[in-house]
Amino acid sequence: MTRYIELLDHGYCELIEAWGSDERIVESARMSTGKGFLGWGPHFVCRACGCKWRNNHDETISLYDEHQVSCRECEGDTGACSDKMAGDEKLLRYLYEHKHSTPFEMAGLTIEVKAPIFVFRQWHRHRTQSYNEMSARYTPLPDENYRPNVERCIVVPGGNKQARGVNDLVPTHEQVIDWLENYVDPAYEAAERAYTRGLEIGIPKELARIPTSVARYSAMRASANLRNWLAFLTLRMDAHAQYEIRVYAEAVGAFIRREFPRTFDLFAEGNGYAGH
Active site positions, annotated: 236
CA dihedral 125→98→22→41, nearest 10 degrees, is: -160
CA dihedral 197→200→203→208, nearest 10 degrees, is: 40
Round to whole Å and give the CA distance between 147 and 120.
16
Read out DSSP for the chain? --SEEEETTTEEEEEEEEE--HHHHHHHHTTTTT------S-EEEETTT--EEEEETTEEE-SS-TT--B-TTT--BHHHHEEEE--THHHHHHHHHTT--GGGGG-EEEEEEEEEHHHHHHHTT-TTSEEEE--TTTSPPPS-B----HHHH-----S-GGGS-GGG----HHHHHHHIIIIIHHHHHHHHHHHHHHHHTT--HHHHTTT--TTBEEEEEEEEEHHHHHHHHHHHSSTTS-HHHHHHHHHHHHHHHHH-HHHHHHHHHHHT-TT-
Round to whole Å and give the CA distance between 212 and 188.
8
